Amino acid sequence: MFVRKISLLTVVVAALLPALAGAQEADTALARIQQNKAVTIGFRESAAPFAYLNESKQASGYSIDICNRIAQEIGRKLNIPHIETRYVPVTPQTRIPLIANGTVDIECGTTVNSLGRQEQVDFSYAVALAEGRLLVKKTSGIQDLSDLNGKIVALAAGTTAERYVRAALDRNKINVRVLQVRDNAEGLLAVNSQRVDAFVNDAVLLGGVLRTAPNKDDLAIVGKPLSFEQVAFMVGKNNSGLLTIVNGTIARLLASGELHRLYDQWITPYGVPIEGEVDTLFKIEAIAE
Amino acid sequence: MPDYSFIVRNASFLFDGLLLSLTLTLIGVIGGLAVGTALALVRLFTGVIGNYAVDAYVFVFRAIPLILVIFWFYFMVPLILGRPVGAWTSAIVAFTLFEGAYYSEILRAGLKSVRAGQLNAALAGGMSRAQALRYVIFPQAFAAMIPIFLTQAIILFQDTSLVFVVSLHDFLTATTIIANRDGRLIEAYAFACLVYYLICLAATAGVEKLKRTFAR
Amino acid sequence: MNYQWNWGLLLRAPYAGWLLTGLGWTVALSIAGWLIALPLGTTIGIARTSSSRWVLRLSGFYVSVFRNIPLLLQMFVWFFVVPELLPAKLGLWFKRDLPAPEFWTAVLALGFYTSGRLAELFRAGLQAVPRGQRMAADATGMNRAQALRYVVMPQALRIILPPLTSEFMSIVKNSSLALTIGVLELTAQSRQIENFTFHGFEAFGAATAFYVLVALVLNLVMVCLQRTLALPVAV
């Protein structure tokens, strides 16, 4: 009986799969936006200062401010007056599929650009740089990656941190045990409850965690940056029309200095000001009209 | 020192979460019943192929974890509909189809519990098969099934907490958010345990009472 | 829909290995949880048929606590709350020094949750054995423990074998909740593969196939067990 069930199942699944693949049309996101008269923005709920739910439970942050301007620009380009902006919460686990399947038009969070991800989605110009660092308790005495031998480290599931941390640990022959945590809040909790010795993530995100931590005086962000990565917005593959508007808006905001103002408002207080690599990046990306 | 004041401060956020859990439960029960009934009808009125198809559907849905089902539909629903939908819609579809598999089994057991003689008597009395089912079998089967349906609904209410994995703000997720924000995990989870416990206990007591009423 | 299918990827390193270790953790979680649930559930189940009022009340409370709180919340309580309530040193050991603390926390949560459900099952099974059996055992001079051990329990076990199998299937499925506290079991691994390769459909498809396979094997085992254990006369 089971054999028959299974063979039937196989037939059903095999019949369904090609139907799902569908045709690859260009600029489906813009068509969708035109039809709904709304831009759907995917945002992170606890990734301050890039994107988070504020006290009145609304999406806010650096990435959200930029994306709202992008949405207005899309409205102008498509001749949609009073274009609506919808917000869909995403997590590190769901953001890529939600872009790929069209639930979200633009993902505005803290996603890092990588070649692997470019197989499924396209990325905008970078709006910030991510540097991986360590959040530790001051009493732990941990100063750098080399102090982590034999210790336990928390990594947020579904982020690139996992890969670069593992690479850095292998390079330096450091032996640690890794605990996967769901998000930044849980990473802080793991450090505070001494479940782990360090939480590795982007310095700005860690700065955000630190600012809201009830015991911020006991904690410190330490270590040389483990990596430099581009923080960018995601759009679906084959959406060059949408991507052009997104990138154009970022370039114009950079040229007019408005993006610097937003950056200083949101990001600089977290200990990563516009200098060095960030400054260079912003100069290069301010492409002329 | 335990401090429960943050629960009062966030009462409306928590209440919204509870409301979402209850709404999802209600939709899951109604949708699951509809799908379950449809599956049971396919079993009754179609031949071998229909029976095997329903068997396979029920077997697969009962073999895989609800979390996996939620993940699946989180990706599949927008794909099949061909337009963007949020986590809420996907969760509804996932719960409806998942519960449908369980409800169809309950329905089948309920229909079986009505003695074959009843059907024969109805048919002999000149009713068509559909009439016999509609007027003789279903009412009896339904009465026998109601407590089981409700028990399944209580299980479903507990299962709605799994929408946590797709960041829908049900009661448990809302509790977790304020617990993390205020650094009061022990109090927050103790409170959540109490709320779930009392709701499920009251509901179970209600079902028991109903069972006794039907048993008379 | 922009999606590139690539089923071959599941057979490549390291993803094939991830799926298999994930399956390994799922099986380990289920079996370890079951080893806690079965003795606890049996004991509480017997207590539920006791004639002592206090034993009845206590065991009833035990069952209602573990059955009326969602498993996910129970898992959070074991992971986030219990270690903080233990004496500091023991709590720290529970969180850090134990090999694979997440795994053992999940095992405890699964075991206790399932024990509540098994207790109800055993109670129902024990009560389903006709009274005459117990009386006959009494008449042959057996004491109550002997009657339970040699007459009532063997029959009750045969009655509850099918629901017991489906409870084991439930523990296999419920073990997926361990992913919320960081155990990389089958569902978590399939999500991890999705995260690294962005081929979610293939990854979740593979996980689904594994769970279906486990269910099929369990069904076969149950059918064989039922045949082997069947009594010459109907119970």
pLDDT digits (tens, 9 = 90+) for A231-280: 999 999 999 999 999 999 999 999 999 999 999 999 999 878 898 889 99
Which residue type, as a one-letter code, is found at position A7?
Answer: S
**pLDDT tens figures, A160-211:** 777 777 788 888 888 888 898 988 888 999 999 999 999 998 888 888 888 8
Question: Are the beta carbons of B75 and C201 separated by less than 8 Å?
Answer: yes
Say whether B83 and A32 touch across the interface (CB within 8 A): yes
Neighbours of A57 (CB within 10 A): 11
How far is it between the farthest Cα atoms of chain A? Answer: 70
Residue of B nearest to C203 (CA): B72
> What is the pLDDT at residue C35?
97
CA distance A59 to A104: 15
Q: Å from A213 to nearest chain B CA?
A: 8
Q: What tokens were used for C56?
A: 């009845």
C143 touches chain B (CB under 8 A): no
Separation of alpha carbons B127 and B136, rounded Å? 10
pLDDT at B84: 57
Q: At what angle do helices B48-63 and B87-113 cross, to 10 degrees?
A: 120
Beta-carbon separation of C65 and B62 below 8 A = no
Alpha-carbon gap, residue C167 to C174, rounded angstroms: 10
φ, ψ for residue A276, nearest 5 deg: 60, -130
Q: Compute how many other C-beta atoms are within 10 angstroms of the C-beta atom of residue A289.
A: 6
* In chain B, domain spans: 5-215
Average pLDDT value for chain A: 86
Q: Which domains does chain A have, with CATH numbers?
A: 25-129+230-285 (3.40.190.10), 130-228 (3.40.190.10)
Higher per-residue pLDDT: C55 or B107: C55
Contact residues on chain B for A20, CB-CB shorter than 8 A: 79-80
Q: According to the model, what pLDDT value does residue A19 have?
A: 45
Q: What's the Cα-to-Cα distance from B166 to each of A175, A197, A249, C136, rounded to whole Å?
A: 33, 28, 31, 57
What torsion do the CA atoms of C58, C61, C66, C67 make, to the nearest 10 degrees? 130
**% chain A with pLDDT above 90:** 48
Residue B23: other Cβ atoms inside 10 A: 14
Q: Where in chain A does DSSP place strands (E)?
A: 38-44, 46-47, 51-53, 59-60, 84-90, 106-108, 121-137, 152-156, 177-181, 198-202, 219-222, 228-236
Say what the pLDDT of residue B215 is.
Answer: 64
Nearest CA in chain B to A38: B84
C 179-208 near B (Cβ less than 8 A): 179-180, 187, 190-191, 200-201, 204, 207-208
> In this structure, what is the dihedral angle of CA atoms B161, B163, B166, B169, given to the nearest 10 degrees?
-70
Say yes or no: A23 contacts chain B, CB-CB below 8 A. Answer: no
Among A residues 161-190, those touching chain B with beta carbons less than 8 Å apart: 185-186, 188-189
- Collect all residues of chain B within an 8 Å Cβ-Cβ radius of residue A32: 83-84
Rg (CA), chain B: 21
Report CA-CA distances (Å) from B74 to A22, B84, C37, C174, C204: 18, 11, 32, 19, 12
Q: Which residues pair with A137 in a beta bridge?
A: A219
CATH superfamily name and code, B5-215:
MetI-like (1.10.3720.10)
Q: Closest Cα partner for A74 from A285, A284, A242?
A: A242
User: What CATH topology corresponds to C26-184?
Assistant: MetI-like fold (1.10.3720)
For A26-36, the pLDDT digits (tens) are 789 999 999 99
Residues of A in contact with C220 (CB under 8 A): 2
Contacts B75 to C, Cβ<8 Å: 200-201, 204
User: Which of B22, B67, B76, B178 to mutate to probe the C interface, most C CBs <10 Å?
Assistant: B67
Centroid of chain to Cα A268: 18
Q: What is the pLDDT of residue A22?
A: 44
Residue C226: name the closest of C122, C235, A4 by CA: C235
pLDDT in tens, B23-79: 999 999 999 999 999 998 888 788 888 889 999 999 999 999 999 999 888 877 766
B178, B188 in Cβ contact below 8 A?
Answer: yes
> Buried b vs exposed e over A272-287: b needs ≥16 C-beta within 10 Å?
bebeeebeebbeebbe
Rounded to the nearest 5 percent, the helix, strand and coil shares of chain A are 45, 25, 30
Q: What ipTM does the predicted assembly reach?
A: 0.90
pLDDT for A101: 78
- Are C183 and C29 within 8 A, CB to CB? yes
Q: Is the pLDDT of residue A83 over 70?
A: yes
Q: Is A286 helix (H, G, I), strand (E, B) or coil?
A: coil
Locate the chain B residue with the closest alpha carbon to A16: B80
DSSP secondary structure code for residue A112 in this structure: B
- Both tokens of A151, joined, read 């210790």
In Å, how far is A210's CA from the nearest CA of chain C?
20
Residue-wise pLDDT tens digits, C81-110: 999 999 999 999 988 888 889 999 999 999
pLDDT digits (tens, 9 = 90+) for A117-159: 888 899 999 999 988 889 999 999 999 888 998 899 999 876 6
- pLDDT band, very low/low/confident/very high, at A20 (cuts 50, 70, 90): very low
> What is the per-residue pLDDT for A182?
84
On chain C, the residues whose CB falls within 8 A of the CB of A194 are: 92, 95-96
- Does the distance separating the beta carbons of A179 and C102 come in below 8 Å? yes
Measure in Å the smallest separation between the Cα of A263 and chain B Cα atoms: 25
CB contact under 8 A, B56 and A5: yes
